[in-house]
Amino acid sequence: MPSAVEEMARHTRPLQMVPRIVKENMQFDGQDLKKGQTLLILLASANHNPDVFTGPARFDIGRTPNQHIAFGYGIHNCLGAPLARVEVLIALREFLQRYPNVQLSSKPLDCLLTLRNATLKELPLMLQPTCLLGEHLFLFTKGMFIDYYTQCPLYA
């Protein structure tokens, strides 16, 4: 599941772009950059670079290697990145344990795009209710709770 968390960060990118100040006159990729000039680094573009990622537009939770820069890089790496990764991992595990048969709704996704962030306005999911009794996980289906592992119905 950690690879899924990394792919979510790469694909959805918490930030679209970050500003950087040129420290000294230089040339980069044939462009003259002047000291003090402000650059906008497009993380969204970097994380979808076909020279780095095979099938960059594809969401692939098994992607390896996945050397994205969703949380920055080097001295600009986000200090909160390890905590964010753990929080998402825990939330994802808990969610999938409670809703193991979750499905994405056929409703089109609607994004809120700004210069800095890209965010889903909503994530329409089809959830199947579950119930945990002792060591048994039950799914509500066909009007009754059924043991997730044995497929036996739960009778009151």
Kindly report, residue by residue over 7-23, the tens digit of the pLDDT.
999 988 767 788 899 99
Kindly report, residue by residue over 110-120, the tens digit of the pLDDT.
887 777 777 77
Residues with Cβ within 8 Å of residue 82, at least 6 apart in sequence: none
User: Three-class SS of residue 7?
Assistant: helix
91 shares a domain with 30: yes
Instruction: Say how far apart CA 138 and CA 145 lie, in whole Å.
Output: 6
Instruction: Say how far apart CA 52 and CA 109 lie, in whole Å.
Output: 27
Total domains, the chain:
2
Domain residues for 18? 1-98
Instruction: Give residue for tokens 């929080």.
Output: 87
139 shares a domain with 88: no
Q: What angle do CA 120, 73, 113 make, to 5 degrees?
A: 20
End position of a domain, from candidates 65, 82, 98:
98
74 shares a domain with 122: no
Note the pTM of the prediction, 2 decimals.
0.68
